[in-house]
Amino acid sequence: MQITRQTDYALRTMLYLARAGENQRPATHKIAEEMLIPSSFLLKIVSQLANAGMIATTRGARGGITLAKPTNLISVYDVVEAIDGPIQLNECTHDPCVCPFGETCPVHEIWCEAEALLVAKLMKTTLAELLEREKKHQK
């Protein structure tokens, strides 16, 4: 399993907005330039994040993007799910019927446990926590 480049860019964008603060509305071209994200790719990501209710966009000369919620209410999981959909390590974790061995498969339980741990960690980790981690690394 690998997080997609689109999700990585989305998380970078969300952190950029979190750093900017709630009174700032950076333009997409500025975010793209500073976060090394192709502009056309960023526009698609911004659309998905806005549809998920995680960012607010304003058009026009004074337009830009801002977080729609406080940083402590946006988790890494929220960003991943907004871009890639629900995390699923194996298709059997959500539908044991796809496996010919069903729930008797010796690996099924491992996949379900690993997925649950990953989801729990990503849900627990907020943008606010990532900002705190960033501050610690800069010291």
Q: pLDDT per residue over 71-96, tens digit each?
A: 999 999 999 999 999 888 888 888 77
Q: Is 48 exposed, middle or buried (0-12, 13-18, 19+ CB in 10 A)?
A: middle
Per-chain mean pLDDT for the chain: 90
Q: pLDDT band at 7, cuts 50/70/90? A: very high
- 55 bridge partner residues: 67
Q: pLDDT band at 60, cuts 50/70/90? A: confident
> Which pLDDT belongs to residue 1?
63
Q: Rounded distance, CA 8 to CA 101, Å?
A: 35
> Which pLDDT belongs to residue 137?
82
> Which pLDDT belongs to residue 136?
86
Mean pLDDT for the stretch of residues 13-28: 90
> Which pLDDT belongs to residue 96?
74
Residue 112's domain comprises: 5-138
Q: What's the structural domain count of the chain?
A: 1
Mean pLDDT for the stretch of residues 102-130: 91
Q: In this structure, what CATH number is given to the domain that contains residue 90?
A: 1.10.10.10
- Of 23-27, 48-52, 60-64, 117-121, the poorest mean pLDDT is in 60-64
Q: Rounded distance, CA 51 to CA 26, Å?
A: 18
Mean pLDDT for the stretch of residues 49-65: 89
Q: How many Cα atoms are found within 13 Å in the side-chain-facing hemisphere of 4?
A: 14
> Which pLDDT belongs to residue 2?
76
pLDDT reading at 101 higher than 90: no
Please give the C-alpha separations between residue 8 and each of 3, 15, 116, 130, in angstroms, as whole numbers: 7, 11, 21, 14
